[in-house]
Structure 1
Amino acid sequence: METGPLGTTVDRSPPVDRAPLVGRAGELARLSSVSAPALLLVAGEAGIGKSRMVEELRGHPDLLGHHWLVGECLPLREPFPLGPVLDALKGLDVFTPPVGRVDRVEVFPRVRAGLAELGPAVLVVEDLHWSDEATYEFLRFLCRGLPPRLKLLVTYRPENVRTERPVVDLAGYLPRWARAVETTVRPLRVAEVGELAAGLLGLTRVTDEFATRLHELTGGVPFVVEEVCRALPAEPAPRLADAPRSVLDRLTAPVALRGSIAERLATLPVAVREVVAAAAALAAPVDEHLLSRVACLDKPTAAEAIDRALAHGLLRQCAPGLLATRHALATRAVIDLLAPDELRRAHRNAATVLAEADPVPHARLARHYKHAGLVAEWVRHAEAAATRAVALGDGDTAVDLLADVVSGSGIDIATRARVAALLSRAAQPGLRHGEAVAALRSVLAVAELPAGLRGEIRFGLGMLLVSQTGEASAGREQLRTAVGELDERPDLAARAMAALAIPSFTSGTITEHLAWAKRALDMLGSFDDHAVHTAVHVNHASVLLYSGDPDGWPVWRAALARGSTPEARLHLLRGASNGADAATWLGYDARARELLALIPTLIDEDSSLYTNRLVTGTRLRLDLAAGRWEGLAERVGHVRAGAGAHRLPMLDTEARLVAAELALATGSLADAEVDLREITGHDAPLTIPLLTAAMAARARIALSGGRADEAVTLLGPALNLVRRHGNWVWATAIVPHACAAMVALGDRSGAVALHREFADAVVDRDAPAAGAAALLAAGHVATRAKAADLFAAAEGEYEAMGRPYALLQAREAFAQVRLAGGDKQPMLDVVTGFTDLGARWDAARCAQVLRKHGVTPRHRGGRRGYGDALSPRESAVARMAARGSTNKEIAEALFISVRTVEDHVANALRKCGVRTRSDLTCD
Structure 2
Amino acid sequence: MENAHHADDRSVEALVSAALGSDRRRLVVLDWTQPAAGADAAVSGHYDEVLATGTRVIRLASLDADDVVALAEQAGALLPVAEVFALLQFTGGQARAIDELLRQSDASEWGMPQRSLRAPVRVSRVVAATLGELPPDARALVEAVAILEEADRRQPARAVHAVQVSEVTDPVTALDAALRSGLLTSLDADDVWIRLCDNMSRRAVLDQIGPAGRAARHERAAQVADDRAAALRHQWHATSLPDDGLADRLVDHAAETAKSGEWAATADLLVLAARATADPDRAGGRLIAAVDAMVGAGDVPRATRHLAELESLRETPLRNAVLGYLAVVRGRPGEATNRLGRAWALVNERRHPDEAAQIAGRQVLHSLAGCRASELVTWADRVVELGAPSSPAAIEARAIRGLGAAVLDGPEGALAEYGRLSASVPHGAVAQRMSMATGWLRLAADQPERAREELESAVPTDFLGGSLRISLWARAWLARAQFTTGDWSTALHTATTGIGLAERSGMTLLLPLLEWTRVQVLTLRGDWAAAEESLRGRSAGREYPIMRVPTALARAAFHEAQADYAAVVRALGVLREEWADEWVSSPGFWPWADVYANALVVTGDLDGADAFLTPHERRAAAAGHASTGARLAYARGRLLGQRGELDAARAEFERSIELLSPLPYPYDRARVHFAYGQTLRRAGRRGAADTVFSTAREGFSALGATTYVERCDRELAAGGVHATRPADRRFDALTPQEEAVATLVADGRSNKEVAAELFLSVKTVQYHLTRVYAKLGVRSRSQLAARWQRDPD
Aligned to 1:521: 381
Q: State how 1:160-239 maps to structure 2 within 5 Å.
A: 200-201=61-62, 229-230=94-95
Name the CA distance, whole Å, in 2 between partners of 1:457 and 1:691.
32
Q: Structure 1 residues 606 and 762, CA, compared in 2 at 3 Å: closer, same or farther?
A: same
Task: Tell me, yes or no, if the aligned pair for 2:638 and 2:679 is still in contact at 8 Å.
Answer: no
Aligned to 1:645: 504
Q: State how 1:401-416 maps to structure 2 within 5 Å.
A: 401-403=269-271, 406=274, 412-416=279-283
Q: Which amino acid aligns with 2:710?
A: A
Task: Tell me, yes or no, if the aligned pair for 1:325 and 1:331 is still in contact at 8 Å.
Answer: yes
TM-score by length of 1: 0.60
Kindly provide the CA deviation profile for residues 36-64 of structure 1, in whole angstroms up to 9, marking residues without a partner as x: xxxxxx96334x2x13344246569xxxx
Q: CA deviation at 1:275?
A: 8.9
Equivalent residue in structure 2 for 1:716, among 558, 564, 573: 573
Aligned to 2:668: 806
Q: Structure 1 residues 555 and 652, CA, compared in 2 at 3 Å: closer, same or farther?
A: closer
Q: Structure 1 residues 572 and 749, CA, compared in 2 at 3 Å: closer, same or farther?
A: same
Q: Which amino acid aligns with 2:270?
A: L
Q: CA deviation at 1:775?
A: 1.8
Equivalent residue in structure 2 for 1:397, among 265, 270, 281: 265
Q: Structure 1 residues 898 and 57, CA, compared in 2 at 3 Å: closer, same or farther?
A: same
Kindly provide the CA deviation profile for residues 750-803 of structure 1, in whole angstroms up to 9, marking residues without a partner as x: 222222243345443354343233323322332332222212222222333321
Q: State how 1:128-527 maps to structure 2 within 5 Å.
A: 200-201=61-62, 229-230=94-95, 253=119, 255-263=121-129, 280-281=146-147, 290-291=165-166, 313=181, 329-337=200-208, 343-354=210-221, 356-357=223-224, 362-363=229-230, 365-367=232-234, 369-370=236-237, 372-376=239-243, 379-380=247-248, 382-383=250-251, 386-390=254-258, 393-403=261-271, 406=274, 412-420=279-287, 422-423=289-290, 426-427=293-294, 430-436=297-303, 438-439=305-306, 442-443=309-310, 445-447=312-314, 454-463=316-325, 465-466=327-328, 468-471=329-332, 473-484=334-345, 485-487=347-349, 488-494=351-357, 496-497=359-360, 500-501=363-364, 507=370, 510=372, 513-515=373-375, 517-518=377-378, 520-521=380-381, 524=384
Equivalent residue in structure 2 for 1:828, among 678, 681, 694: 694
Name the CA distance, whole Å, in 1 between partners of 2:608 and 2:336.
38
Aligned to 1:793: 655
**1:55 to 2:50 alignment:** yes
Q: CA deviation at 1:347?
A: 2.8
User: Sequence identity, in percent?
Assistant: 15
Kindly provide the CA deviation profile for residues 864-890 of structure 1, in whole angstroms up to 9, marking residues without a partner as x: xxxxxxxxxxxxxxxxxxxxx996369
Q: Structure 1 residues 570 and 770, CA, compared in 2 at 3 Å: closer, same or farther?
A: same
Q: Which amino acid aligns with 1:478?
A: R
Q: Where does structure 2 lack aligned partners over 5 or more consecutive residues?
A: 1-10, 65-88, 100-114, 150-156, 726-744, 759-783
Name the CA distance, whole Å, in 1 between partners of 2:142 and 2:454.
51
Q: CA deviation at 1:370?
A: 4.2
Q: Where does structure 1 lack aligned partners over 5 or more consecutive residues?
A: 28-41, 61-195, 204-223, 235-248, 294-298, 860-884, 906-923
Q: Structure 1 residues 778 and 503, CA, compared in 2 at 3 Å: closer, same or farther?
A: farther
Equivalent residue in structure 2 for 1:584, among 443, 452, 461: 443
Q: Structure 1 residues 536 and 711, CA, compared in 2 at 3 Å: closer, same or farther?
A: closer
Q: Residue 443 of structure 1: SS of its match in structure 2?
A: helix
Aligned to 1:77: none
Q: Structure 1 residues 352 and 604, CA, compared in 2 at 3 Å: closer, same or farther?
A: closer
Q: Which amino acid aligns with 1:420?
A: L
Name the CA distance, whole Å, in 2 between partners of 1:402 and 1:344.
23
Q: Structure 1 residues 810 and 251, CA, compared in 2 at 3 Å: closer, same or farther?
A: farther
Kindly provide the CA deviation profile for residues 133-164 of structure 1, in whole angstroms up to 9, marking residues without a partner as x: xxxxxxxxxxxxxxxxxxxxxxxxxxxxxxxx
Aligned to 2:606: 748
**1:544 to 2:372 alignment:** no
Kindly provide the CA deviation profile for residues 290-326 of structure 1, in whole angstroms up to 9, marking residues without a partner as x: 5379xxxxx9xx99x9899969949879899999977
Task: Tell me, yes or no, if the aligned pair for 2:598 and 2:635 is still in contact at 8 Å.
Answer: yes
Q: CA deviation at 1:663?
A: 1.6
Name the CA distance, whole Å, in 1 between partners of 2:675 and 2:310.
58
Name the CA distance, whole Å, in 2 between partners of 1:591 and 1:395.
27
Name the CA distance, whole Å, in 1 between partners of 2:421 and 2:569.
47
Aligned to 1:8: 18
Task: Tell me, yes or no, if the aligned pair for 1:277 and 1:335 is still in contact at 8 Å.
Answer: yes
Task: Tell me, yes or no, if the aligned pair for 1:588 and 1:767 is still in contact at 8 Å.
Answer: no
Task: Tell me, yes or no, if the aligned pair for 1:258 and 1:333 is still in contact at 8 Å.
Answer: yes
Q: Structure 1 residues 502 and 560, CA, compared in 2 at 3 Å: closer, same or farther?
A: farther
Name the CA distance, whole Å, in 2 between partners of 1:628 and 1:763.
29
Q: Structure 1 residues 497 and 771, CA, compared in 2 at 3 Å: closer, same or farther?
A: farther
Greater Rg over alpha carbons, structure? 1
**1:771 to 2:629 alignment:** yes
Q: CA deviation at 1:813?
A: 1.5
Q: Residue 375 of structure 1: SS of its match in structure 2?
A: coil
**1:624 to 2:483 alignment:** yes
Number of aligned positions between the proteins: 667
Kindly provide the CA deviation profile for residues 111-135 of structure 1, in whole angstroms up to 9, marking residues without a partner as x: xxxxxxxxxxxxxxxxxxxxxxxxx
Name the CA distance, whole Å, in 2 between partners of 1:753 and 1:726.
20
TM-score by length of 2: 0.68
More displaced stretch, 606-615 vs 768-777: 606-615
Q: CA deviation at 1:619?
A: 1.6
Q: Which amino acid aligns with 2:485?
A: A
Kindly provide the CA deviation profile for residues 562-621 of structure 1, in whole angstroms up to 9, marking residues without a partner as x: 345556986664244234224434544245346437759999966565534431221211
**1:694 to 2:694 alignment:** no
Task: Tell me, yes or no, if the aligned pair for 2:142 and 2:178 is still in contact at 8 Å.
Answer: no
Q: Structure 1 residues 357 and 538, CA, compared in 2 at 3 Å: closer, same or farther?
A: closer
Aligned to 2:41: 44
Q: Structure 1 residues 858 and 574, CA, compared in 2 at 3 Å: closer, same or farther?
A: farther
Q: CA deviation at 1:728?
A: 1.9
Aligned to 1:733: 591
Name the CA distance, whole Å, in 1 between partners of 2:293 and 2:58.
33
Q: Structure 1 residues 21 and 373, CA, compared in 2 at 3 Å: closer, same or farther?
A: closer
RMSD over aligned CA atoms reads 5.4
Aligned to 2:706: 840
Name the CA distance, whole Å, in 2 between partners of 1:717 and 1:426.
35
More helix by share: 2
Q: Which amino acid aligns with 1:386?
A: A
Name the CA distance, whole Å, in 2 between partners of 1:337 and 1:890.
71
Q: Residue 488 of structure 2: SS of its match in structure 1?
A: coil
Task: Tell me, yes or no, if the aligned pair for 2:262 and 2:466 is still in contact at 8 Å.
Answer: yes
Q: Which amino acid aligns with 1:333?
A: A
Aligned to 1:150: none
Q: Residue 492 of structure 2: SS of its match in structure 1?
A: helix
Q: Structure 1 residues 474 and 350, CA, compared in 2 at 3 Å: closer, same or farther?
A: same
Name the CA distance, whole Å, in 2 between partners of 1:321 and 1:628.
38
Q: Structure 1 residues 563 and 751, CA, compared in 2 at 3 Å: closer, same or farther?
A: closer
